[in-house]
A and B are shown apart, each in its own frame.
Chain A
Amino acid sequence: MNVVSHMGKKFVKRVPRAVREPEPGFDNDPGARKQKAYQKASRQAEQEFDGEMDNVDQEQPERESHWIDFAAKEQKDIVHEELNQFGNGDEPWQVLVVKGDNNIFLYSKGSNTSIYLMPREAKDRFKPLMGNPGLRYFGLYLGNFKGDQFNLSLEGATELAKSGAARKNWVKLNDEGEKSFLYGQDIKKADLHSVCERGITHNRGICLVLNALGECIGIGKLEARDPTFKKVSDEEILVKNVVDRGVYLRNQNRL
């Protein structure tokens, strides 16, 4: 079991030791091992949908490698904490997860561990498909884990901005700045329209990048020494481009 510490606590990161992504199935007759893994995963999925996941603190039995699971409480806490860095109080979490009535899933693919939101109303349909080796995407990709650090995805950031709950840690660009950022460029003073009231206060300097209309066009990372951008030079890079929506054109075949 992979044990990860977070905020003084220890929790079992519920990612199997040998996580592997099965090859996409082009036949309906997988080998016996694959079939066994699939049946076991389906049984587990069924139990979890029936409410067993409420008791997340219980030690989970070792399982065969599989790549989709419910997020554990500790993982949810990390996601919760990260989302709330962009809003007032608990609003982002409430808007994206609670009001959206979403289940929170952990998806492991190779060494990547991602978080997806899936509406609870989809559970009857999703339950039998959780173990399908061909599963490639579902619901809303909210972000991914690197160790015990959660990184918000572009799609997650977009939903957050769309919901109106993004009130902190944002920079707004002017039209020229928007164009430049969508080409993958970093943000300089001339690109800036405005910045949120207290500047970038995120503990890792992450910020939502919005256009002049308040629509999310990407995610950035603070580079400037002054997080309020009041004392910065024209040439200084204020925010580095982490990801922008131009990626849908530039990297379409690699997504």
Chain B
Amino acid sequence: MSQIYRIMKNEQYQPYMVERYILMFGEEKTLELLRSFQKPPVPSINVNTCNISIKALKERLEAKHFHLEPVPWCSTGFWIYDAHEYEKKMNPGMVSQFQFSPGATHEYLQGMYSMQGASSMLPPVLLDPKPDDDVLDMAAAPGTKFVQMGQMMKNRGVLVGVERSLDRVPALKANVQRCGVTNSILICNDSRHIGEQFNGFGKILLDAPCTGEGLIGSDPTRKNSRSVGDIQTMRDIQVQLLENAVALLKPSGRMVYSTCSLAPEENEFVIDKVIQNHKNLAVVEPPKEIAKHFDQGLVQTMGAKFDPSLKNAIRVYPYHHPTRPEGFFAAIIEKMEKI
């Protein structure tokens, strides 16, 4: 316990955060979590297989002294290192000092890959959009998951991206243009209220806006920039978004709800509340080869009990992998045709 409080004090965590971690995860895991937040995640890329094959991109990046290691839960995902440093240390947890940024190579500019957190590759993988699917992304900016889905769909079918913030649309548009996602439609609107013009979708990604507690490793300001009040505010918005996602999802459709928050209020609570309102919804099991890397969703915590199907959700903690992927939550929700 003394170690936890030492880190809390040195790293200037708000006490409520650490207290909640202890209540949710116990002392041992809290210590692991705080330690893993002390270093940033290893940067990773997602290969845009519509523009280049994995083999060809690997060769081109290796020629520029980058080293790629595969992300086990995403076939197009790779952690990226400086090849010389990696050769010396052989440590997957190391964060390289790059000679030049992987986010500014000619290959990047040509849309052959995107810089994308390894955890954030999960929601599209779980949603598994196919060519000819009809897919909605309800919070599309800055567009890395959107582009990943376009690539999985091989630019076929229809991919609609909705983003509420006008300020975030240019980045989204730039990513879509750079990567050549030609089956896309981008709308600036509030996904809580879209409806009549949208009809139903067979697949929906709701990567909901959140307090971003899982990003502390890459953005330490998150330790102090959010409060308990923010969690509650975000939870209300998330419930509204998920309710509308349910309305927009076709029967037998599949959606993925995800956040980069570790707070159960923004994750299990939101899904539990919406499931209670809709008896035809269930959180379904993710593929075993993906789930094995992570923890299950919580079915009870801090005195609250949730729908038992929430154990099928996925919780990513940075200590799950030496590369310290960002904290993340994702759940596959299916809408049954009839109860």
Q: Residues on A close to B: CB < 8 A?
A: 24-28, 117, 119, 121-122, 125-126, 128-129, 131-132, 134-141, 154-155, 158-159, 162, 178-179, 182, 211, 215, 217, 245-246, 248-249, 252-255
Residue of A nearest to B136 (CB): A125
Cβ distance A46 to chain B, nearest Cβ, rounded Å: 12
**Bound Cα distance A245, B190 (Å):** 31
- Inter-chain CA distance A155–B177, complex, in Å, is 7
Cα-based distance from A230 to B293 in the complex (angstroms): 61
B residues near A134, Cβ cutoff 8 Å = 162, 187-189
Q: Find out whether the CB atom of B184 lies under 8 angstroms from the CB atom of A138.
A: yes
A129 contact from B132, B166, B169, B187, Cβ within 8 A: B187
Docked pose: A58 CA to B56 CA in angstroms: 51
How near does chain B come to A67, taking the closest CB pair, in angstroms? Answer: 14
Assess whether B27 is interfacial by the CB under 8 Å rule: no
Nearest to A249 among chain B residues (CB) is: B104
Q: Is the CB of A129 within 8 A of B193?
A: no
Do B182 and A135 have beta carbons less than 8 Å apart? no
Q: Which residues of B contact A135 (CB under 8 A)?
A: 185-187
Residue of A whose beta carbon sits closest to that of B192: A28
Q: Using Cβ atoms and an 8 Å threshold, which residues of chain A touch B195?
A: 28
Known pairs A252-B174, A255-B177; A26 contacts B106 (CB<8 A): no
* Contact partners of B189 in chain A: CB under 8 A: 24-26, 132, 134
A26-B164, A121-B156, A249-B109 are known; give 20 further A-B pairs, CB within 8 A: A27-B193, A28-B194, A119-B183, A122-B183, A122-B185, A125-B199, A126-B185, A128-B196, A128-B199, A129-B185, A129-B198, A132-B189, A134-B187, A134-B188, A135-B187, A162-B51, A179-B106, A182-B106, A182-B109, A217-B110
In the complex, which of the residues B170, B187, B195 has the most CB atoms of chain A within 10 Å of its own CB atom?
B187
Residues of B within 8 A of A27 (CB): 190, 193
Find out whether the CB atom of A132 lies under 8 angstroms from the CB atom of B177: no
| Nearest CB of B to A57, in Å | 30
Report A255 CB to chain B, min CB distance, Å. Answer: 5
Alpha-carbon gap, A122 to B156, bound state (A): 9
Asked whether B176 is an interface residue with its Cβ less than 8 Å from the other chain, the reply is: yes
Complex interface: chain A residues within 8 A of B160 (CB): 125, 129
A52 to B194, CA, bound (A): 29
Total count of chain B residues near the partner, CB < 8 A: 39
Tell me if B65 is interfacial: C-beta within 8 Å of chain A.
no
A122 vs B196: C-alpha distance when bound (angstroms):
17
In contact, B187 and A136 (Cβ under 8 angstroms): yes
Within 8 A of A (CB), among B69-96: none
Contact A141 B198 (CB under 8 A): no
CB-CB < 8 A to A162: which residues of B? 51, 180
Q: Please state if A215 and B183 are interface contacts (CB–CB under 8 Å).
A: no
Whether B157 contacts A248 by the Cβ 8 Å rule is no
How many Å lie between the Cα of A203 and that of B278 in the bound state? 63
Which one of B104, B173, B198 contacts A136 once the chains associate, using CB atoms below 8 Å? B173
Known contacts A28-B193, A135-B185, A135-B187, A122 near B109 by CB under 8 Å: no
Asked if B178 CB lies within 8 Å of chain A CBs, one says yes
What is the minimal beta-carbon distance from B59 to any residue of chain A, in angstroms? 12
Q: What chain A residues lie within 8 Å of B180 (beta carbons)?
A: 140, 155, 158-159, 162
9 closest residue pairs by CB, A with B: A24-B188, A28-B193, A137-B186, A134-B189, A245-B109, A134-B188, A125-B158, A128-B197, A138-B185
Chain A residues within an 8 Å CB radius of B187: 129, 132, 134-136
Please report the C-alpha to C-alpha distance between residue A139 and residue B177 in the assembled complex, in whole angstroms.
10
- Interface of A, secondary structure class, is mixed
What is the CA–CA distance of A126 and B186 in the complex, to the nearest angstrom?
11
Subset of 12 A-B contacts with CB under 8 Å: A26-B189, A26-B190, A121-B132, A121-B156, A128-B197, A135-B187, A136-B169, A137-B173, A137-B186, A139-B184, A162-B51, A252-B174
Taking the complex as formed, is B171 at the interface, i.e. its CB lies under 8 A from any CB of chain A? Answer: yes
Give complex CA distance A66, B141 in Å.
26
Bound CA–CA A26/B192 (angstroms)? 10
Q: Which residue of B lies closest to A135 (CB)?
A: B187
A178 to B60 alpha-carbon distance, docked (Å): 15
CB contacts under 8 Å to A, within B93-132, are 104, 106, 109-110, 132
Query: Is B134 interfacial (CB-CB < 8 Å)?
Result: yes
Q: In the complex the two chains form, what is the Cα distance from A116 to B14 in whole Å?
A: 50
Q: Chain A residues with Cβ under 8 A from B166's Cβ?
A: 24
Residue of B nearest to A215 (CB): B110
Q: Which residues of B contact A24 (CB under 8 A)?
A: 166, 188-189
Known contacts A126-B158, A128-B197, A128-B198; is-contact A248 B177 (Cβ 8 Å) = yes
With a CB–CB cut-off of 8 A, which chain A residues contact B185?
A: 122, 125-126, 129, 135, 137-139
Q: Do the beta carbons of B198 and A252 come within 8 Å of each other?
A: no
In the complex with contacts A24-B188, A132-B189, A248-B109 CB distance below 8 A: yes
In residues 29-44 of chain B, which contact A (Cβ within 8 Å)? none
- A28-B194, A122-B183, A126-B158 known; A253+B170 contact, CB < 8 A: yes
Q: Residue on B with the closest CB to A254?
A: B170
A122: which B residues are within 8 A, CB to CB?
157-158, 183, 185
Chain A residues near B186: list those with CB within 8 A.
135-138
Bound CA–CA A232/B197 (angstroms)? 58
Q: Are A139 and B183 closer than 8 Å at their CB atoms?
A: yes
Contacts of A126 in B (CB 8 A): 158, 185
**Complex interface: chain B residues within 8 A of A249 (CB):** 104, 109
Instruction: Name the CB-closest residue of A to B101.
Output: A249
